[in-house]
Structures are given as structure tokens and as C-alpha cells.
Structure 1
Amino acid sequence: MTLLLQNAKQLMENGELQDCHVFIEDGEVKQISTTSIEEEANRIIDCQRQLLIPGMIDVHIHLREPGGEHKETIKTGTKAAARGGFTTVCSMPNTNPVPDNEEAIQELLEKINQDAVIRVLPYAAITKGLNGEELTDIETLAHDVFAFTDDGVGIQTADAMLRAMKLAAKAKKPIVAHCEDNSIVYGGVVHDGAISTRLNLPGIPSLSESVQIARDVLLAEATGCHYHVCHVSTKESVRVIRDAKKAGIHVTAEVSPHHLLLNEDAITQDDANFKMNPPLRSKEDQAALFEGLLDGTLDIIATDHAPHSADEKAQGMQNAPFGIVGLETAFPLLYTYLVKPNKITLKQLVDWLTIKPATVFDLASGRLAENERADLTLINLEQETIIDKHTFYSKGKNTPFHNWKVSGIPVMTICDGEIVYEEEYHG
């Protein structure tokens, strides 16, 4: 399969846009030119001077399969990812069964190979059954998985985390942590702050997140393990990670679009589409996350795409499961509400979604260059639309961003040289 992309705009290191034409063959970018390319191709695409970037990478998503197919499947989730401009996603292990042994992981890999329309790199669990106690066979499982995590629950004892980090360091795999000390969550469903008081809902203290990060960075220092913090949400967490990096500890961290764009004040009523874990925090926390992203304390953006059924989310804040979807809305939201108002540059946004996750996790993706994977996303920066959850490819419609006006729409996604998503009207 050969593709010739003509009349695209490439984002240069200095942030400027440059005309480019790209020839793709056998899943690789063979030629990039500022002038015309004369190669014959199976398909020639006029990119109409739209932005061409590396395919985006999301290191934190939930595909729910196996066991939660009413929420999402590998097929629907990866189609949603392709529509959102993502070509590589990393799937969390809170499924049923949990990928905590060789047989379960091999079955998962076979299902991914069968149904995924983009690249899926699965996590394995740190502990068997995500119970926080007995460790999985990290050394054996390391060959087939992206990293190790018990995402959805924090590792409650320092002993379990220390043993896991020692094994992960030996296997040269990251430990990726959902940080939450259950002893001080107190049954919370929203941030412990003004909104929890006003709506009379139990609050989740910021401390429940930051105290585990503080513990874990010291364990990472002791073991030499690459420690990656999921969905950072509090100013204290940012401070701890910043200090750990200054101390030379191998810690990296991600922030989610919803924590950058929203704070607890967005919750005006008992609406579980605003229920996620960690919860939307205070304005001060939101500001600290933004500052941490800008100064490099937080390395990347990841969606924490967490689909649920409409019935589950209709149960209200107290009883509905945590989580919102994000794959199909991430780039347009961040572009519209951060880049267009000049809070960040387009180059910064693209880097946080492409080259930086590739660099943090040593992935052979995230670059638009000759002799690299042909994982590419074409984006119409001018096109405007209204987010409509009813049009999502994902089974999950649980979003707080329904009816938001956005621009910067992915119109074509190419993975390994194959077109995996194309907006209907696009030529």
C-alpha cells in the first residue's frame, strides 16, 4: 500500500508551519518534501493545507474488554481513538479477567490483534486480581506488556510497591501508579472542598493522592525504577513530583485534559458525568497542574478514557462509577481552549501528545520523519463543530463536554501506513 499526501502543513521545531508532501510505503514514511513528490501511489490525498502531525499516543485508556463489553470493546474503543487522532493507546488492566498471568495476556493480545484498528499496548497488573497483595510474575510478563499498573486502585502498602519496583527495575519496565491512600478517601465521590459542602456529598481529600506519591518517589529512588504517576490532580502532588525530579529520581507524570480544563466549580448539580477519580479539584489545583505542565514537572497529557453505560452513569454522584470518556474530544478541546487563547503553543500541545510520551516510554512512534513509522494524523484547525456525545464511536457517552464548541478536528488518521479513520466528506 502506498499513499501520497500532498499539500499538508508540517509543524517545525520552531513552531512554524511549513508546506510538506509525504510519500508512504510499506508502513513507513519514505519521503518528506517541501516541493512536489513524483512517486506513483495507490492513493493520492490532497490535504488542503491542513496540519499533519505524528499519530497521537495515549498511555492511559480503558477498553473494558474482556468483561466489560457493555461499556466498551477493543473494536469500539480503538475506532474512537482513531477518530480522535490517536494511533497508539495503552490499555489498563482493570478488566475481568485481569491480565495478571501469561494465559490471560496472550488471550488479550490475540483479541487486540483481531479487533484493534490502531496499535494497542496492554498493561499487566502489578498484583494478582488488582488486590494490592500478591505480586504478578513481573519478570515473565514483562516481555508482552507495555508496563505494570494496578490503575483504579492504589497500592496500599509500601512493602508491595517496593517489591514490585525492584522486579520492574530488573525487567526494565515502568511502574505506573494510580495514587490513592484508601485510608483517607472516606467514601468520597467529589473533591473535598466547596462543592462537596454545597451539594452535601462526601469529599476526597487531596492528601489521599499526594501522600502515596511522596512515598513512592522515595521507593523509586531506592530501587532505580522508572515510576510514572497517573492523572495528577493536586498542587501538593505537583510539588512532590517537582522536588523528586530535582533530586534526580526517575519519575514522570501525566495530566488529563479534564483536569486542565475544569475544576470543581464546573459541578453545579448532582451530575455523574462530572464524576471521575481523581476528582475535579480546586482552582488552585488546576492552576498548579497548568504550571507543572509548562515547567516540565508533568511530562505528558493522557485522557484516562473511561467509558461507562448510560444506566450506570444515571445513578448520580453517590452511586455511579468514576470516569469519563476522552479519546474523541481531547485534541479539539485542548486546541480550542488552550492553544487558541494563547495559553500554550500548538507545538507544545502536539509534543505533549506525541513525541513526549514516545520519549518517556521509549516507543518507536511519535515522530513525523523519513524512515519512521507512518503513524500520522491530519487535523483541520479551522473546522468548527459542537461536541455531540450521541455521535461518539465509543460506546461510552459519559462526558461533561457535551455541547461544547470546538475546532481543530482530526479528519484523517493513518496507522502503519493504513488509513484507519477518515472523515466522510474528506477527499
Structure 2
Amino acid sequence: MTANSLAIRNVRVPGREGAFDLLVAEGVVRELTAHDPAASHDGHAVIDGREMLLMPALTDAHTHLREPGQEWKEDIASGLAAAAAGGFSNIMCMANTDPVNDTASVTRFMLRRAAESWPNGPRLFPIGALTVGLRGKELAPMGELLEAGCVAFSNDGEPVADTEIFRRALEYAADLAPVIDHCEDPYMAKGSGANEGAMSARLGLRGQPDAAEAIQAARDILLAEYLGVHVHLAHISCRKSVGLIADAKKRGVKVTAETCPHYLLMTDAALLGYDSLAKVNPPLRTDDDRLALVEALREGVIDILATDHAPHAAHEKETPFENAKNGISGLDTALAALWELVRQGRLSPEDIVTRFAWRPAEIFKLPVNRFAPGDPADFLLFDPEDSWVVTPEALRSKGKNTPLLGQPLTGRVALTAVGGVVVHDRIRPGRT
């Protein structure tokens, strides 16, 4: 029996009736069959699934793992451990490190650090810088970054203001890998952390209008349409952008888009009390925006979910609101928090599987498990009845900066496997 010969017995699978057994050997799915209580599964390590949900492990197309250069916030090992606890098998990390990931040497360093942490987390796929130093002035050596292991390119939180340079970047990347753009007009209250509206006025905060996002989304869509190339829009947060994306898709524009759990679950009301833990970029917006995003995700206008995991040290958040860093630490809690929308009937388990596992892997050409024989044995067990409280101690990430701190959640990842190797296990403590 090899270490990754597993039999996961008596589980439920979203979209299928009845109980199932999953057999795994040599890192791949052997078969998913109807549960047989009498089966012995000789040669496999047997795990009782206790009628929990069996789902493909998740792919996160937007994280910040901070290493190299900002290891006090997060390092690759701690970020991947948090990802394993959250049910992820594939993690794409942004280029805003120090130094910026704009050279092959930085890419290779990231991949080496990920290899050193195995088997304590999922696979790492770096996102290369779109421009040198993220300065928006000169294209990064994308061919070199692709060869070193990058799977996409982005200027992350520094949107390219020069449309001519962005056009050339889209053209050059078209034959290499997708471009991910942070949609924000760089001159309209950049990084303010609050939506411009009734709540920002009430709190006396500088706000950023939803138009700041929509203007940049419209530019990107028009360029993608003109050039006939693909563009991926990061962390969409408002109804205006949803409308633009929907219209573009009807015209056949090659645009894909993501949103994040916090935009589906929270509004700018979370800023009451000047709570810097809810300060994020783009900012949390109104309930109308939130509902538009939920509907767009269900309909496929928004293609995927991503965490935008942005860990910070405590002192970077425990400061006056306008001085606090933007970002929410989200890898540990993403699936558990989203399950509230499943309980409400606003999303289905199948929606979660499609938008957080299958579709992102398709867009970025990453390993994906559909439970067909030969698929990579990347899966999770989710207990929808496990109630727990979000505490700093419960989070594997170094970043404890989440507005969910102190809140109860119902639903938790019980086990995560990557290539048949168990990387997170709450069923049998001590294995990871």
C-alpha cells in the first residue's frame, strides 16, 4: 500500500444522489462508486467520510503570499498551510513581493520555497509582473517569467494607467498566458478603502466611487474586444462592472472575471466603528452591489471565486482607518464563510464547485479534478454542520486580519488532499 492509496467511504457529492466511495491510488482518482458498506477496500488506507461532502479541491487565482521580502505578514509555507486548511490544491500568488516577481530568479525562488514546504500545502503557481517593478512603464520579460513557471501576468494593485502600454501588454501576453487586471482608475480616490456613498459620508471618510472600477473595466473590455484577446478582471465589486461584463460576453468578448467571498457576504456597513479589518481594495460596497454579484456568479457572468488573500501584521491594521493597510486574510475561512449563501439558497454546492474549483482551473490551465478516472486526486471533505468560532488561533495564516474574527461559522474543511497526499486532516489529528 502506498501513502496515497486511499478509500474515502460514505460521502455525498454535490449534484449526485446517494452516498459514494472514492478510491485513489498513485496520486489519481481510480473510481467514484456508489457506497458499498460491505466493501473491504484492501490495499487502501480507509477514511470514514461520515456522509460529509466530497468536493474537488479548490483553486485560488488571487493570493498574496508576501515572500520574498514581507515575511512578517506571511511566508510561502504559512500561506500554503492556510490554503490547505481552506481546502485548496492550487494557489496563484501575485507579484507584489519585494523584490517584485519580474524576473525568473524570483519566480524560481518562490517555487523552491513551495517545494520545501511540501507536503504541508497545495501547489504554488506564481503570477508574473506585467510591467517592470509594477511601475507601469516598461513591459516585464513575460517569456522569461513563463518559462520559469508563471501562469499569468498582472500589475496587481498598481493598475497600468498608460493605455498604450496596457494594449501592448495584452498583445504580447496573448500567446503566453492570461493577463489579470486590477480594475481601478488610478486617479479616483485610489486605495481609499471605503465606498463613496452614504456610509463614507456618515463616517467622514474619503470614498472611492464604483465608477472608478467600472471605468477601468470598460477600458479593458474595449481593448480585449478590439484586439481579439483575453483579459481577466480581478475582484469585481459592483453592479456597474457586472453590467459591463454581461454586455461584453453577449458580444463575444474574451473577458473573464472574479469576485471574492467578502463582496458576496459583506457591505460597507462593516466599516461602522471605523473597523480597519473591513478595509479592502476595491472597497466593500452596498447591498445592491452584493446581490448583483451573487446573481452574476450564479449565472456565470462572474466566472470564478478568488480570495484576494491579503495578510497583514497586527500593527498595520491597528491604526487610524485612513492609515491602515487594505486587505483581508481569507484562505482559512473562504469556503466556510461562503457556505452561509448555500444555506440561504442563494448559491448551490454545485455553484461553489464550478466557480471555485473547475472554472478557475480551466481559465488558467491548472490541474483539475472532476472525479473521472485518471484525474488528479485533489479533493476535500467538507462538514457543513461543524460549528466553530474564527479566532486568531484557528487561522493557519500569519495574517489574522479578517472582519470575521470572533464570529461563529457553520461548516468547515475536515480534510484536504493534493495528488492523493493528505495535506490537512481534522478527522485524524496528528497526520499533518
Provide TM-score, normalisation by structure 2.
Answer: 0.94
Is 1:376 matched up with 2:379?
yes
**Corresponding residue for 1:296?**
300
**Corresponding residue for 2:188?**
184
Is 1:387 matched up with 2:399?
no
Deviation at 1:39, TM superposition (A): 4.2
Percent identity over paired residues: 37
Letter in 2 for 1:129: G
Q: Distance in 1 between matches of 2:190 and 2:348?
A: 40
Deviation at 1:360, TM superposition (A): 2.4
**Corresponding residue for 1:67?**
69
For 1:108-257, what aligned pairs fall within 5 Å after superposition?
108-116=110-118, 117-143=121-147, 144-171=149-176, 173-185=177-189, 188-257=192-261
Q: Distance in 2 between matches of 1:148 and 1:329?
A: 26
**Corresponding residue for 2:24?**
24
Is 1:406 matched up with 2:416?
no
Q: Is the 8 A contact 1:245 1:251 kept in 2?
A: yes
Q: Is the 8 A contact 2:21 2:32 kept in 1?
A: yes
Q: Name the SS for the 2:386 alignment partner.
A: strand
Is 1:279 matched up with 2:283?
yes
- Unpaired segments of 5 or more residues in structure 2? none
4+ residue runs over 3 A deviation: 35-39, 424-427
Is 1:356 matched up with 2:351?
no
**Corresponding residue for 1:50?**
52
Letter in 2 for 1:179: C
Q: Name the SS for the 1:2 alignment partner.
A: coil
Q: Is the 8 A contact 1:354 1:367 kept in 2?
A: no
Letter in 2 for 1:26: E
Moved more, 127-136 or 362-371: 362-371
Deviation at 1:170, TM superposition (A): 2.3
Deviation at 1:23, TM superposition (A): 1.8
Provide closer, same or farther for how the CA distance between residues 169 and 6 of structure 1 changes in structure 2, counting only shifts above 3 A.
closer
Q: Distance in 2 between matches of 1:328 and 1:45?
A: 23
Q: Distance in 2 between matches of 1:421 and 1:186?
A: 38
Letter in 1 for 2:31: Q
Deviation at 1:38, TM superposition (A): 4.6
Q: Name the SS for the 2:402 alignment partner.
A: coil
Q: Distance in 2 between matches of 1:280 and 1:138?
A: 33
Number of aligned positions between the proteins? 423
Deviation at 1:364, TM superposition (A): 2.3
CA RMSD across the alignment: 1.7
Q: Distance in 1 between matches of 2:30 and 2:157?
A: 41
Deviation at 1:424, TM superposition (A): 5.8
Is 1:96 matched up with 2:98?
yes
1:309-351 CA-to-partner distances (Å, cap 9, x unmatched) read 001110131101100111111111111x211111121211222
Provide TM-score, normalisation by structure 1.
Answer: 0.95
Deviation at 1:71, TM superposition (A): 0.3
Deviation at 1:404, TM superposition (A): 2.1
Is 1:325 matched up with 2:329?
yes
Deviation at 1:2, TM superposition (A): 3.5
Letter in 2 for 1:153: E
1:176-208 CA-to-partner distances (Å, cap 9, x unmatched) read 011111112266231111111111111111111
1:378-406 CA-to-partner distances (Å, cap 9, x unmatched) read 11112211222332110000001112222
Q: Distance in 1 between matches of 2:191 and 2:56?
A: 41
Provide closer, same or farther for how the CA distance between residues 31 and 424 of structure 1 changes in structure 2, counting only shifts above 3 A.
closer
Q: Is the 8 A contact 1:238 1:289 kept in 2?
A: yes
Q: Distance in 2 between matches of 1:8 and 1:160?
A: 54
Q: Name the SS for the 2:174 alignment partner.
A: helix
Q: Name the SS for the 1:182 alignment partner.
A: coil
Q: Is the 8 A contact 1:186 1:202 kept in 2?
A: no
Q: Is the 8 A contact 1:60 1:91 kept in 2?
A: yes
1:226-280 CA-to-partner distances (Å, cap 9, x unmatched) read 2111100111111111111111011000110000001112221112101000000
Q: Is the 8 A contact 1:254 1:298 kept in 2?
A: yes
Moved more, 158-167 or 386-395: 386-395
- Unpaired segments of 5 or more residues in structure 1? none
